């Protein structure tokens, strides 16, 4: 039995932050270019407790998000994390450019877990040896063939199940 736990990487938009869940996606895609959009997103229900519960049981938690090329996106996402998820240290927040592969954040993601709403991010994570959990918070079909959940609560249960199985 091992005490080491995998790192948990969490996406922001439509995973922890309501980017376009309560507004039409076309509207969100237009508004995201305006200053204040990312900073003022509402947290997804249960986001803070999800993060804090993972940390409480010993998982190292990281934010792994991407940004559009505007002056304000990166800083606003960092502010959002500081405001809504204050238990995540600044050095655990990775803000990449759109188009970057999320696996660039580590030498190896083998065994580490990504929770993300974008199928291609999940597929590339798995190709690199990581474990992906695709979160679908709206009624949509998904092309992702791995673990798919419909809430942060389900994601938490999947992470715990993986941990129990790895210890057994």
Q: Which domains does the chain have, with CATH numbers?
A: 8-167 (3.40.50.1000)
Distance CA 14, CA 150 (A): 11
CB 158, CB 147: distance < 8 Å: yes
Tokens of 56: 């409480």
Distance CA 142, CA 151 (A): 15
User: pLDDT tens track of the chain, all 168 residues?
Assistant: 345 899 999 999 999 999 999 999 899 999 999 999 999 999 999 999 999 999 999 999 999 999 999 999 999 999 999 999 999 999 999 999 999 999 999 889 999 999 999 999 999 999 999 999 999 998 778 889 999 999 999 999 999 999 888 876
């Amino acid at each position: 039995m091992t005490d080491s736990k995998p790192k948990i990487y969490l996406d922001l938009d439509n995973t922890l932050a309501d980017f376009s869940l309560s507004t039409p996606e076309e509207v969100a895609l237009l508004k995201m270019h305006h200053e204040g959009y990312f900073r003022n997103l509402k947290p997804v229900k249960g986001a803070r407790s999800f993060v804090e519960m993972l940390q409480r049981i010993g998982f190292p938690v990281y934010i792994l998000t991407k940004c559009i090329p505007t002056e304000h996106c990166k800083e606003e996402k960092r502010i959002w994390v500081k405001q809504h998820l204050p238990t995540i240290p600044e050095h655990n927040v990775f803000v990449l450019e759109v188009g970057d592969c999320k696996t660039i954040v580590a030498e190896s993601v083998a065994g580490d877990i990504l929770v993300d709403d974008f199928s291609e991010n999940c597929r590339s994570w798995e190709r690199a040896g990581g474990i992906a959990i695709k979160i679908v918070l709206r009624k949509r079909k998904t092309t992702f063939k791995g673990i798919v959940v419909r809430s942060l609560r389900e994601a938490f249960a999947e992470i715990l199940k993986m941990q129990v199985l790895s210890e057994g």
